[in-house]
Chains A and B, each alone.
Chain A
């Protein structure tokens, strides 16, 4: 049979067909055995020896045969991943392990104990399923098999935010230390934690040190945005090119408004605008605005200055723009969701959606330190964290459809969705959870 091929892997004989091998795709070990028309090169007739682990080879061959990953107990998962990397089948393994994220079908995959207890600052999922966790002045980096890489520090300054540029590069924003010119913003190699580039800001052609706050990225024109505070009141939003690393713009904070202290930046691809939100308690008031950097103008703004203080003291604690709906979703400390219209240039009032849960919750505070709610949006699903659980809202009216929690670890101080995984960082014991959606079963 021309189609059949015989492998001797580490002494064990495997037989398979070229069609099975072709499932591996072009950019793999097996892909290199085919010519341009997907015919096996003739010199692979007979037995073909590969000096690798036969058990893992069997699992991976089954993956190519069925598209499913079944790891028998005698095979180490880690070794399997190494072998997959050798053959160039990492993407196949990843796709077989978890599917596209669906907030209503999440299951807990792993819980990783952190290095230091106490408040975590941020957790960010990477594009390939890895993640990085910032707390204090350190950033810990984990790859997709949740192996830890060398940690990142920026002159051991307090880290304010982190973000992935691509699977190989991480940006860290940190506080500046008085008079030393360190801190600021740096680009790091995710693999080995080396500092690749330090971003600089110049005001009136002079390079100034600064404190970098919240980060955001635009994938379409590869810009990096950060809220910045300089010593001589140079507050505002800095813009850099992630390819050249050069500063390309600076949007100064208008008087009576807050940009440089922002808690959250969000790049909106559709309208090419940047959402900037500075929220209580960092400032006494909440400021949410949309910047159009091409025309250097604030095209939409809302603030709660002068709004009557309610009895229960509801304040906006997080905000997220939902471009498809033309609205901004906000959340208060009781996890009440509120909505604001993005059309027009000035935000009207917040329409709070009344939910019974917040009423029930009131009064009986959990026995651990609460954390402020956070929001995330993914594929038309709205995620909101409160205490130790994450709620999922779907549909045009944003109905609660799912809620998931892990019993221990304290409240969730930050969570993030990336690489089709959801990462939740708990405030106590610095433990973080990885949630995945199982791959959809092949139905016959």
Chain B
């Protein structure tokens, strides 16, 4: 065989050729594409869902999923481009409406398309990591409509314009706004934020910056705050009506920053209407508004608080240092209470009982009350006044409230022991003169002091009450056993006071008239007979007496006088004219007291039962006193007071001061010993702080004084200086 005849045999593999319609995919896609067109053209009613679903299923099944998907993207994009054009063509006000309508259409169409292509969405899309149909539809809408160059800025401007119009009072179509904003939210949070929220916040910031500038120039503080509050509420309302709830905090932040935070100082210090004026005029509503608005911005409340504090401190300082005010202690304390009431009202009505404000107020009061060293005395005097007469017409509860208020002031005091000193003096006077109005009120106050400062603080006060009670019993006992012997002579009432419990000053007893001194002797022997081991000494400087006097024309009066005055007057039973010297010799009353008591008997108009020669205010050693026969008074009972300032005189003050200081010494020492006993070794500074802390509830110890006490304790071998560290002390057991 020749070479050319040799044929190459090729054996073909047996193939079963399946002839398929090469255009199957295209045809099927055409059907689906047509359907999508029809859906967008609102002609969906003529379509068969089953047929379309099956076609889409078949395309995926026969591996044309990719073609189906890309076809969908293309077709939808074309439609959206058309939509975009028609939206662009819409004029003026119809722009948003057109966009909204088209958006609704698109959503409806998208739902239908998704139903048709459900099989692709369930199988092809997840296994190829493509975007599901619904999300794809939103993304395409975003890219082709919302982000098309002619729509994006126009949409934003239209929305912002509408919001601006609403801000200036026009009514806009909120439903439409809500739909459009919801569309942006549906397209994803980034679309909402980038395409709307961010520019919206910027524009709002500009708007409110400008507006707040205008307002602040022409409005007073109260009006400005009203306007700011209204704006804030408007924005919150806007968010609930047509914005994303997450925007609320952002837009309110903008308003807060522009309208409040930026003008905070100016508002607070605004002349004639700022915070100080609101406080002065008790403008609860304005203050409440300011509180609620300022609370929203950083440092807002602290600004209010600082201004309020400095204002309270200033006015308080003026009040306590005003020399006019100091003249009337009752008025002084009443002023303090009024001030406190005023601010309590403000805090409860306007500042929603904010704890930080209450604390600021308390610290302010503490600050200025202690500026005046006489505050403890004045507060005690105020109580004295109230308990003597002030509470006459008050119900029990009212008394309690007054006492509670006093306690509140008391809490502010640093030198509580000074108050205690005065209170004791005043209480003693009240008890001895029987002037106290209500035993209940007295005791209630003592209980309050006890709960505030502890048992130690009030045990002496309680002792005074006990003495009063036992004295009554003693007197009953005395008259029961001795009554027969006494007969019709003058009646004697003795208060037996325990030494130490009472603020007594040792003073030599004066010479009592004979009628009395025998009676006193009888009492002394009775008392010492019933109580052994006791010593009685008469405190004639503290007693009172009621004497009956008959004057020239036979008019009778009952004179209410002190024991000293009684002694003086009794002398005139036997003489009509006595010189100062004679009186002094006869009574042995200390010179200062005698002068005072003569002054009150002879120099007070209307109560001058004696006449003095010469007629002058001051008492001289050579003056003579005469019985004033022509004395008249409208009243049967005449109370002759002692000329003594209710307040303490300067030397008395010094004395009280000194006694307070003296009393403090053992307390400081006790505190030091207590501390060192537990600590064994401690350095100087720490002792000072610890001692101060321990004694704070009673008074504020002076570091210099503490140092002196330490030195004294070292001298007495309670402590020693540490050999290694000279600044430390060691406790010696």
Chain A positions within 8 Å of B, measured between CB atoms, are 27-29, 32-33, 43, 48-52, 85-86, 88, 168, 189, 191
Contact = CB atoms under 8 A, between A and B. Distances in A.
Contacts of A88: 118-119, 122
B54 interface: yes
10 contacts: A27-B122, A29-B118, A32-B115, A32-B118, A33-B49, A43-B45, A50-B50, A85-B123, A86-B119, A88-B118
Interface of B: 45, 48-51, 53-54, 57, 115-116, 118-119, 122-123, 126-127
Contact of A191 (B49, B54, B127): B127
A29 B53 contact: yes
A89 to B, nearest CB: 11
A43 B49 CA distance: 10
B127 A51 contact: no
What 4 pairs between A and B have smallest CB-CB spacing? Answer: A32-B115, A191-B127, A50-B50, A168-B127
Nearest to A191: B127
Contacts of A32: 49, 53, 115-116, 118
B53 A168 contact: no
A48 B127 contact: no
B45 to A, nearest CB: 6
A204 B54 CA distance: 55
Contacts of B126: 168
Chain B contact residues, majority secondary structure? helix
B50 A49 contact: yes
Given A51-B50, A88-B119, 13 more contacts: A29-B53, A29-B118, A32-B49, A32-B53, A32-B115, A33-B49, A49-B48, A49-B50, A85-B123, A86-B119, A88-B118, A189-B127, A191-B127
A253 to B, nearest CB: 35
A33 B53 CA distance: 12
A86 B50 contact: no
A52 B53 CA distance: 12
A52 B122 CA distance: 19
A177 to B, nearest CB: 30
A296 B123 CA distance: 41
A28 B118 contact: yes
A338 to B, nearest CB: 43
A86 B57 contact: yes
Contacts of A43: 45
Contacts of A50: 50, 54
A51 B122 CA distance: 20
Contacts of B49: 32-33
A32 B111 CA distance: 9
A50 B116 CA distance: 14
A48 B50 contact: yes
A189 B128 CA distance: 9
Contacts of A168: 126-127
Contacts of A29: 53, 118
A86 B123 CA distance: 10
Contacts of B127: 168, 189, 191
Contacts of B119: 85-86, 88
A88 B116 CA distance: 12
Contacts of B123: 85
B646 to A, nearest CB: 75
Contacts of A51: 50-51, 54
Contacts of B53: 29, 32
A192 to B, nearest CB: 8
A85 B61 CA distance: 11
A189 B124 CA distance: 12
Contacts of A48: 50
Name, among B116, B118, B126, the residue most crowded by chain A CB atoms within 10 Å (CB to CB). Answer: B118
Contacts of A86: 57, 119
A52 B127 CA distance: 25
A5 to B, nearest CB: 13
A298 to B, nearest CB: 37
Nearest to B57: A86
A56 B45 CA distance: 29
A191 B129 CA distance: 12
A52 B119 CA distance: 15
A128 to B, nearest CB: 11
A27 B133 CA distance: 13
Name, among A32, A50, A52, A189, the residue most crowded by chain B CB atoms within 10 Å (CB to CB). Answer: A32
A51 B57 CA distance: 12
Contacts of B115: 32
Contacts of A27: 118, 122
Contacts of B116: 32
Nearest to A90: B122
A331 B126 CA distance: 40
Nearest to A33: B49
Nearest to A7: B50
Nearest to A49: B50
A33 B50 CA distance: 10
Nearest to A36: B111
A50 B55 CA distance: 12
A189 B129 CA distance: 10
A158 B49 CA distance: 50
A43 B127 CA distance: 33
A86 B54 CA distance: 8
A148 to B, nearest CB: 17
A43 B115 CA distance: 15
A32 B49 CA distance: 9
A168 B124 CA distance: 11
B119 to A, nearest CB: 7
A88 B127 CA distance: 16
Nearest to A9: B50
A168 B45 CA distance: 37
Contacts of B51: 51
Nearest to A196: B129
Contacts of B50: 48-51
A27 B48 CA distance: 19
A91 to B, nearest CB: 10
A100 to B, nearest CB: 23
A94 B232 CA distance: 56
Contacts of B48: 49
A191 B119 CA distance: 16
Contacts of A85: 119, 123
A262 B485 CA distance: 117
A244 to B, nearest CB: 13
B655 to A, nearest CB: 72
A191 B125 CA distance: 13
Nearest to A52: B54
A341 to B, nearest CB: 43
